[in-house]
Structure 1
């Protein structure tokens, strides 16, 4: 008996690598959260229609409007006839909705779509990302340190504040998964663990899906493309360099295309809230702010309003707005205004920082109404990390600057040494840190300048992913340094 136990233990030790351990843990946690009653998902804040309507789905619940914001709804109707709804937004998420819809029709129903098929598909995409990320982080680690890194990865990225998005039509779940693939790709290139072409291809595909998942992600294309410069130099063979150049050029162009294809309706919505929930929101003299931007002072009455509120002071699509309001400012002029008014910019940045560490929006509940949970009630199953981060993180933008400086300086030292030795592969970890910090700040800047403070928590979702990846990478680096300092062979 003892010999059998030892044999099983030995087999587990050989085959249960840190990455396999992490995948098993994530799988068990997400199965319990998303697919075992009471099911966890995200309530609709009104955005779902934009994506599901053009994908052949409709609301089949007569009480749906009363459930919005408060309760998760898992079933939707499938159009049996011609779908007259045009494409509201162009998003890579539609591809995955269509795959989930096909699976639903094969295994469940031709008339009712269960959103858990979409959730299950995203869990299936998450597991390889976790495997590759942990494989890269724990490369050349032996023994317990690798399992510690794996456990930390599970603790952060299996958090239900993240995974609840899988059971919804929000694109945030897909964004999380693709950023994990991008990070894993850079780390594995740095470690030279797998085939370089395969890792380049993974970064390329994940980047395209990430950027095209949401128009707000268009600027991230610039950040990723710039970080691709170092990847170009890690190998001298012509084929790899041409492949790298082509891949990151297409990534850059995907951002340009996504920006160009932003529907006019959303441009108007974002532009309105940029002014009313941004420029005017914290202005001590809103009339003067409008005057500085060449806009009629009477529009100061719109301060603090949002595009969707039920009772409006003015028809937001009327001739006066179209002629004297919207044409008089844009992204560049708003950014210039903030730069000329640093005190007001500081207030907006601090406001953004207050919402940058909450992964899940305050407004949306996680449970179905039939379970008896209260309206807007949120799950606390396996959410210790997100709960602690939201409570403990400083609510000042200066903390974000400090975070960025600490990581950039820490990894720049080793990158500089690698550069002097002409070891460009050795610079890739610093390159990834630049990518994550650059993407995080790009999200914050684009949100403030492009939509004011409206729905900041959800808009800053990608910042959370980038921040958490730096924390995971930094913790792994500190562990390696600690082990190396003790002269242990685990690192």
Structure 2
């Protein structure tokens, strides 16, 4: 009987691991492209990308500058890595193991030892993640079989989404963050279930250490989650075990804090700079006043809405030299930033709403998740097995409502557990998870401003999904009609807000293929009304190679449509208007107005960002493509009207390139694609009359 059970358990683990491998590798490999953060890891191990492509291809092949033998790499597993970037992470443990496995495989198969395949790291992540699910699936958590299966299905639904799994094929620390937080979470549930062996305690603490050491921002969560572990040991265990676990908790926290303390100085300076100038002062209505409140010299107000990597034309200071140290870093820090937000709750609330919108996608929307050759490199995605992330993105526009609703329901659930006198450990664990989620909702904004906000919301997303899971899990099989009704009503309200098919005012003008063309009203200006086509009127490439809209072939094509779609009398109603054409990183010097690049942000609710200040020139046209401002304006008028099934072009270029322009996607995100991609054309124009 024992042998039979053991075989079943081994089979379950292998089944989970195989399922994960299939999800990641079939029919094509999923990953996340490099946004330049890979350098922190690659420099420590002499690695470089084989293709050199960033942002547009999720590479799996790398080169080693000084390849060693399998024996040498095995020894290096136990040596501290020397990193010129002075960045260290528990993630490095698995990179070292991957280098050893790669070298051993190369020796066995006579491959080039200078080539490194990321699969040797990904396989480790698959096995570890499979262990987390195995530990959860093998236990019976609920008395009723259906409730137990529902709980297991729910965990899989959330955390087997490809939005999470794509990180496994990357050098981002998010992989180890996710894996070891989930393992720790399951082991913390083991303690709640009464499984209090020393292995469970030590496994939970080891997982929390590996989780915390992945990224310094993880430490506060690890600290909070260590509290229930210590509490359970002090309450349940004998004296010797209490001492052993108490010492282990202390060692774990000290070792974890070591990673925080050893964060490189350059990183601290960059993030502090961005928390102020690309955070507090980002789109601030009175930057001079904010600078004064932060205790900074008045001349630094000119750096508002500037990130740490801006060119000297925007930021004449060197972050790493003593003059700027005394001017800026000696006067303020992240504590002052947090205090400023507390004193200005209205500004804080708006920025947290942007954070909530940024958190809806599980992975950065500006990084491809497919490996693509250089001639095809583009912002392309495989959305397979991505149901949970897709559902999250449908909440666009109401993300803060969603976050607030979950927090309130979770708090109500906790109070209901308190009222029925649930086990104190159970209450403490849920309180720690709530505190960790709330903290991680705030930390990215306070610690790094708007820079890379979507990626920095990752840990909040993991915590938040754990809250949603527990919210359902705690009430599966529990006959609480009141709580169930409140939950159903709250969900119904959210669904109604998100999916109500509101329609803005419509006008009809012109004909195409014998049918009248309908237009939505965007705004009014005196006797003139700006309108946008109700649907894409045709499909076209933006241009062959350039995202300069004033020279793009798509604009010439729209000009030609005026005589086709409209009669002579209708053409008299259309204004030959002046429109802004935003500039890219190359032609910005041709700008007639503006003093900033147009910063990229994908949630459509806030997509315009700093467009009124962006480098731009003007052009004259009757028909044109919508701008980011038009897309945001339409979204605010009618969420459902702002997107189309196939996506459509905007006139706005992606600032960081010369061959990519912005596109509105059906998932309420505004991406960018290569200009030779064929997408929908949804024109805008000014017409006379109300």
Aligned length: 461
Mapped pair 1:331 → 2:345: no
Mapped pair 1:265 → 2:266: yes
* Partner in structure 1 of residue 97 of structure 2: 99
- Asked if 1 retains the 8 angstrom alpha-carbon contact of 2:395 and 2:402, the reply is no
Matching residue within 452, 457, 463 for 1:455: 452
3-state SS in 2 of match to 1:213: coil
The two structures have a TM-score, normalised by structure 1, of 0.86
Shift of 1:413: 3.4
Mapped pair 1:145 → 2:143: no
Mapped pair 1:59 → 2:59: no
Shift of 1:394: 6.0
Shift of 1:183: 0.9
Alpha-carbon distance in 2 for matches of 1:342, 1:352: 15
Please say which of residues 120-129 and 292-301 is displaced more in the overlay: 292-301
Alpha-carbon distance in 2 for matches of 1:361, 1:205: 29
Please say which of residues 405-414 and 86-95 is displaced more in the overlay: 405-414
Shift of 1:297: 2.0
Alpha-carbon distance in 2 for matches of 1:230, 1:408: 21
Shift of 1:168: 0.2
3-state SS in 2 of match to 1:480: coil
Matching residue within 63, 66, 70 for 2:56: 70
* Partner in structure 1 of residue 325 of structure 2: 322
* Partner in structure 1 of residue 205 of structure 2: 204
- Asked if 1 retains the 8 angstrom alpha-carbon contact of 2:223 and 2:253, the reply is yes
* Partner in structure 1 of residue 292 of structure 2: 291
Mapped pair 1:156 → 2:158: yes
Mapped pair 1:428 → 2:422: no
* Partner in structure 2 of residue 115 of structure 1: 118
- Asked if 1 retains the 8 angstrom alpha-carbon contact of 2:129 and 2:179, the reply is yes
The two structures have a TM-score, normalised by structure 2, of 0.62
Point out where structure 1 has 5 or more consecutive residues left out of the alignment: 1-11, 420-425, 486-491
Please say which of residues 50-59 and 95-104 is displaced more in the overlay: 50-59
Alpha-carbon distance in 2 for matches of 1:25, 1:392: 33
Alpha-carbon distance in 2 for matches of 1:398, 1:327: 38
Matching residue within 437, 441, 447 for 1:440: 437
- Asked if 2 retains the 8 angstrom alpha-carbon contact of 1:59 and 1:77, the reply is yes
Distance 1:439 1:251, change over 3 A: farther
Alpha-carbon distance in 2 for matches of 1:386, 1:370: 27
Relative to its length, the structure with more strand (as a share) is 2
Greater relative contact order (Cα 8 A, min sep 6): structure 1 or 2? 1
Distance 1:312 1:45, change over 3 A: farther
Alpha-carbon distance in 2 for matches of 1:472, 1:120: 27
- Asked if 1 retains the 8 angstrom alpha-carbon contact of 2:16 and 2:134, the reply is no
Cα distance per residue 1:114-143 (max 9 Å; x no partner): 11111111000001101112345x425453
* Partner in structure 1 of residue 128 of structure 2: 125
- Asked if 1 retains the 8 angstrom alpha-carbon contact of 2:161 and 2:387, the reply is yes
Shift of 1:15: 8.2
* Partner in structure 2 of residue 466 of structure 1: 463
Shift of 1:310: 4.6
| Pairing of 1:264-413 with structure 2 (within 5 A) | 264-310=265-311, 312-313=313-314, 314-317=316-319, 318-370=321-373, 375-392=378-395, 395-397=398-400, 399-413=402-416
- Asked if 2 retains the 8 angstrom alpha-carbon contact of 1:45 and 1:68, the reply is yes
Mapped pair 1:224 → 2:231: no
- Asked if 1 retains the 8 angstrom alpha-carbon contact of 2:360 and 2:399, the reply is no
* Partner in structure 2 of residue 489 of structure 1: none
Shift of 1:46: 0.3
| Pairing of 1:175-194 with structure 2 (within 5 A) | 175-192=177-194, 194=195
Distance 1:379 1:230, change over 3 A: same
Shift of 1:415: 4.2
Shift of 1:337: 1.2
3-state SS in 2 of match to 1:218: helix
Shift of 1:40: 0.9
- Asked if 2 retains the 8 angstrom alpha-carbon contact of 1:38 and 1:371, the reply is no
Matching residue within 47, 62, 65 for 2:37: 47
Alpha-carbon distance in 1 for matches of 2:48, 2:335: 38
- Asked if 2 retains the 8 angstrom alpha-carbon contact of 1:133 and 1:180, the reply is no
- Asked if 2 retains the 8 angstrom alpha-carbon contact of 1:29 and 1:158, the reply is no
- Asked if 1 retains the 8 angstrom alpha-carbon contact of 2:89 and 2:213, the reply is yes
Point out where structure 2 has 5 or more consecutive residues left out of the alignment: 69-80, 483-690
* Partner in structure 2 of residue 171 of structure 1: 173
3-state SS in 1 of match to 2:116: strand
Larger radius of gyration: 2
Shift of 1:366: 0.8
Distance 1:400 1:85, change over 3 A: closer
Alpha-carbon distance in 2 for matches of 1:312, 1:201: 53
Alpha-carbon distance in 2 for matches of 1:149, 1:20: 21
Distance 1:352 1:484, change over 3 A: closer
Relative to its length, the structure with more helix (as a share) is 1
Shift of 1:293: 1.6
User: What is the aligned-residue RMSD (CA, Å)?
Assistant: 3.0
Please say which of residues 389-398 and 216-225 is displaced more in the overlay: 389-398
Shift of 1:352: 1.2
Distance 1:412 1:232, change over 3 A: farther
Alpha-carbon distance in 2 for matches of 1:119, 1:151: 24
